[in-house]
């Protein structure tokens, strides 16, 4: 088998027993890196360190997929409920997700659009320290929608 030393030096084609003794003498492992080659290629290395670095490299490539979470309120939603939903939105934003705030109007509530605008402005003001407004409050049918992104 062809053997490569831990410092990258080519040791050439040597018998398996000789390669194993060289690996033991240097305090490393003999790892087969290219079994399909002719002759197979082995490397003298610290296998535990190699696996650790490989795992670290793989974890580094993982990126967070941004999701859009929705918080729904009504114009008559109580202060405590709004505070609770604001705290949930803060959690989403700290987790690097976007938040859509929707004020939904039902039935005759649509007459009091200014109440819905007040609710959404209060929520935006409470989230100001952790979020920036991506799309401002706009009315879409029977709801007022606003999207916030993490700072």
Structural domain total, the chain: 2
9 and 56 assigned to the same domain: yes
In this predicted structure, the answer to whether residue 44 has a pLDDT above a threshold of 80 is: yes
What CATH code is carried by the domain that includes residue 27?
3.10.20.80
77 and 140 assigned to the same domain: yes
Give me the chain's average pLDDT, please.
92
94 and 38 assigned to the same domain: no
With vertex at residue 25, the alpha carbon angle to CA 19 and CA 30, rounded to the nearest 5 degrees, is 40
Is pTM beyond 0.75? Reply is no
What CATH code is carried by the domain that includes residue 73?
3.30.110.10
In this predicted structure, the answer to whether residue 62 has a pLDDT above a threshold of 80 is: no
The total number of residues written for the chain in this structure: 151
35 and 75 assigned to the same domain: no
Of 67, 109, 107, 102, nearest to 85 (Cα)?
Answer: 102
73 and 122 assigned to the same domain: yes
From 43, 60, 77, give the residue that closes a domain: 60
56 and 92 assigned to the same domain: no
Which residues, in sequence order, are CB contacts of 66 under 8 Å at separation 6+?
A: 96, 97, 98
Question: What is the percentage of the chain residues whose pLDDT exceeds 90?
Answer: 69
**Containing structural domain, residue 146:** 68-150
């Amino acid at each position: 088998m062809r053997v490569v030393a831990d410092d990258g030096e080519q040791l050439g084609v040597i018998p398996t027993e000789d390669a194993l003794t060289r690996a033991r003498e240097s305090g490393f492992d003999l790892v087969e890196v290219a079994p399909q080659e002719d002759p197979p290629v082995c490397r003298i290395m610290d296998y535990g360190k190699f696996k650790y670095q490989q795992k670290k490299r793989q974890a580094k490539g993982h990126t967070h997929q941004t999701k859009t979470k929705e918080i729904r309120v009504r114009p008559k939603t109580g202060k405590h409920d709004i505070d609770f939903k604001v705290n949930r939105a803060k959690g989403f934003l700290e987790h690097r997700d976007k938040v859509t705030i929707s004020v939904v109007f039902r039935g005759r509530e649509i007459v009091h659009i200014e109440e819905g605008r007040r609710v959404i402005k209060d929520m935006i003001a409470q989230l100001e320290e952790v979020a920036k407004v991506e799309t401002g409050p706009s009315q879409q049918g029977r709801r007022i929608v606003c999207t916030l992104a993490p700072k």
